[in-house]
Amino acid sequence: MRGRAPAKPRLAGLTGGLAAGATGPGSTRSTVPRRGSHFLPSGTLRVLCCQASLAPHWPHGFFVGNGRSLGESLIGMSTSTLLTFLRLPTFVCTARAERDRGNASRSAGATSRILPLPCLATVGSVVALALLGLTSAGFVGAVAAQDAVAVTAFAEGSLKGWASRSFAGQTRYTLVEDAAAGGLVLKATSSDSASGQFRKIKIDLRRTPMLNWSWKVARTFSDIDEGRRSGDDFPARIFVVVERGALGSRSLSLNYVWASRYPVGAQWPSPYTSQVRLHAVDSGDEALREWVHHKRNVRTDLETAFGEDITEIDAIALMTDTDDHGGQAETYYGEIWFSAE
């Protein structure tokens, strides 16, 4: 889907050992901004914990950041931390019971056990909270069953999980406010340079095959031929990587690009290696300085590009590069995520 609104062998190196047709079924370009979160805010979790009078007792590191549901947080815990979490209500209840029993014994000499009724409410709150997290829209049953997988968190001011790799000079990447997007986005500024941002993240394309992203390009390049090494530059590209072979020697990469010369829908091999395929989803000066949103079925596109059914990818990268023709570029990238539909 394409819509307006708020590689070279070196691409193999961009992911640190990973190698880096026309709009078809399952792929769209929309003119409506796609905003909103599918995750339970961690603030909600903290409030509920405080209401249950358990906030001081949660294991250290339990709150793993905004946008994580309780279910996701549980799955993300180590085994020992998870066991601590699961045993916590029993521990708290036991401690309170011992305290109350001690007080009762000292005051009345009683030896009978005191039923810790307040603890039952605490346990009930924890169970209800767990069910709330496990059934939230951000988490369904297990991590593998997520309906959406966030790749970026630009709007939260975070580049956590992302790393950079330079090939020729430095393309500058900074988080900036964008009024049309309604928040923070990633700005790329390139001048005769080529460096990218990448994140190693496994995505199960059987469950979440749809890649969603948005970008805004300020200018394209004139008088270049993207099919030649001298013209293998793009103001915007997002690519998915399939890791294969020792040190990524047989890895595959599919690049979604904003082309300057090739038309929308064009697909061609990189002038440097057949292991990298390029796919133009935008072209020329149409929609310059406007936000364009895309949704692509990566599983389908990989099969079209490489002739096989690939069900998992190992990394995502983005790059604005101008080194081959010595030009300049200014591009803005919005949030990137995978979804089931």
List phi, psi (to 5°) of 51: -65, -30
Mean pLDDT, the chain, whole residue set: 72
Of the residues 112, 143, 174, the one at which a domain ends:
143
What domain range includes position 65? 42-143
Q: Rounded CA gap, 211 and 149, in Å?
A: 10
Q: What confidence score (pLDDT) does residue 166 get?
A: 87
The pLDDT-based confidence of 150 (bands split at 50, 70, 90) is: very high
SS (H, E, C) 280-314: EEEECCCCCCCCEEEEEEHHHHHHHHHCCCCCEEE
DSSP 90-114: HHHHHHHHHHHHHHHHHHH---SPP
Name the domain count of the chain: 2
67-96: per-residue pLDDT in tens? 333 333 333 444 344 334 334 343 333 344
User: Do 12 and 52 sit in the same domain of this protein?
Assistant: no
User: Do 252 and 325 sit in the same domain of this protein?
Assistant: yes
Q: Is 268 exposed, middle or buried (0-12, 13-18, 19+ CB in 10 A)?
A: middle
User: Do 70 and 124 sit in the same domain of this protein?
Assistant: yes
Q: List the Cα angle 107/109/113 in 5-degree steps.
A: 100
Q: Which tokens sit at 16?
A: 């640190």
Q: Which of 48-52, 221-225, 257-261, 335-339 has the lowest mean pLDDT?
A: 48-52
Q: Rounded CA gap, 184 and 175, in Å?
A: 6
Q: Look at the block and give the residue holding tokens 């309780």.
A: 70
93-110: per-residue pLDDT in tens? 334 444 444 544 444 443
* CATH number (domain holding residue 284): 2.60.120.260
Amino acid at 33: P
Q: What confidence score (pLDDT) does residue 71 get?
A: 38
Whether 176 and 184 have beta carbons less than 8 Å apart is answered as yes
Q: What confidence score (pLDDT) does residue 14 get?
A: 57
Query: Best-predicted range by mean pLDDT among 9-13, 14-18, 291-295, 321-325?
Result: 291-295
Q: Give the sign of the dihedral formed by CA 202, CA 33, CA 172, CA 192.
A: positive
pLDDT greater at residue 292 or residue 119: 292
Q: Rounded CA gap, 97 and 93, in Å?
A: 6
Q: Rounded CA gap, 221 and 217, in Å?
A: 11
Whether 258 and 283 have beta carbons less than 8 Å apart is answered as yes
pLDDT greater at residue 63 or residue 113: 113
User: Do 216 and 82 sit in the same domain of this protein?
Assistant: no
User: Do 136 and 152 sit in the same domain of this protein?
Assistant: no
Largest CA distance in the chain: 95
User: Do 157 and 85 sit in the same domain of this protein?
Assistant: no
Q: Rounded CA gap, 12 and 17, in Å?
A: 6
Query: What proportion of the chain, given as a percentage, has pLDDT over 70?
Result: 57
Amino acid at 252: L
Q: Give the sign of the dihedral formed by CA 226, CA 230, CA 235, CA 239.
A: positive
Contacts of 36 (CB under 8 A, 6+ apart): none
SS (H, E, C) 29-55: EECCCCCCCCCCCHHHHHHHHHHCCCH
User: Do 122 and 212 sit in the same domain of this protein?
Assistant: no
User: Do 203 and 281 sit in the same domain of this protein?
Assistant: yes
Q: What confidence score (pLDDT) does residue 189 get?
A: 97
Q: Rounded CA gap, 323 and 88, in Å?
A: 57
User: Do 228 and 330 sit in the same domain of this protein?
Assistant: yes
3-class DSSP state of 276? strand
186-198: per-residue pLDDT in tens? 999 999 999 999 9
Of the residues 143, 168, 189, the one at which a domain ends:
143
Q: Which of 22-31, 67-76, 200-209, 230-239 has the lowest mean pLDDT?
A: 67-76
Q: Give the sign of the dihedral formed by CA 94, CA 100, CA 103, CA 106.
A: negative
List the beta bridge partners of residue 237: 257, 319
Q: Rounded CA gap, 185 and 334, in Å?
A: 5
Q: Rounded CA gap, 154 and 185, in Å?
A: 6
| Model confidence at 167: pLDDT above 80 | yes
The pLDDT-based confidence of 27 (bands split at 50, 70, 90) is: low
User: Do 133 and 64 sit in the same domain of this protein?
Assistant: yes
Q: Rounded CA gap, 234 and 247, in Å?
A: 26
Q: What confidence score (pLDDT) does residue 275 get?
A: 97
Q: What is the mean pLDDT of residues 27-43?
A: 43
Q: What confidence score (pLDDT) does residue 146 get?
A: 61
User: Do 186 and 232 sit in the same domain of this protein?
Assistant: yes
User: Do 174 and 292 sit in the same domain of this protein?
Assistant: yes
Of the residues 91, 119, 143, the one at which a domain ends:
143
CB atoms within 10 A of CB 22: 12
The pLDDT-based confidence of 44 (bands split at 50, 70, 90) is: very low
Q: What confidence score (pLDDT) does residue 145 get?
A: 43
Q: Rounded CA gap, 307 and 300, in Å?
A: 10
CA dihedral 259, 214, 289, 178 (to 10 degrees): -150
